[in-house]
Chains A and B, each alone.
Chain A
Amino acid sequence: MAIIQAEALSKHFKVPVRQAGRLAAVRNLFSLQYTHRIAVEEVSFTIERGEMVGYVGPNGAGKSTTIKMLTGILVPSAGEVKVAGLVPHRERKRLTHSLGVVFGQKTQLWWDVPVIESLRLLKEIYKVPANIYKTNLELFNDVLDLHHFQNTPVRQLSLGQRMRSDLAAALLHSPDILFLDEPTIGVDVVAKERFRTFIKQLNQERQVTVLLTTHDLSDIEKVCDRLMIIDKGRIIYDGPVSGLKQRIMPYRVLVVDFADGVGSVEIAQAELIARKGQQARFRFNRHQISASELIVELAGKYPIKDISVEEPEIETTIRDIYARSAAGQALGDA
Chain B
Amino acid sequence: MRQVRHIFKKEFTAYFISPIAYIVISIFLLITGWFFFTPFFLYNQANLRNFFVLLPTVFSFVVPAVTMRLFSEEFNVGSYEILLTMPVTFRDVVLGKFLAAVAFLATMLLPTLAYPVFVSFLGQLDWGPVLGGYIGAILLGAAFSAVGLFASSLTRNQIVAFIIGMAVCFGLTLIDKMLFFLPHSLLGFFEYLGADFHFQNISKGVIDSRDVLYFMSVCFVGIYGARLAMEQRS
- Pairing of A with B: no
Interface, chain A (partner B; CB < 8 A): none
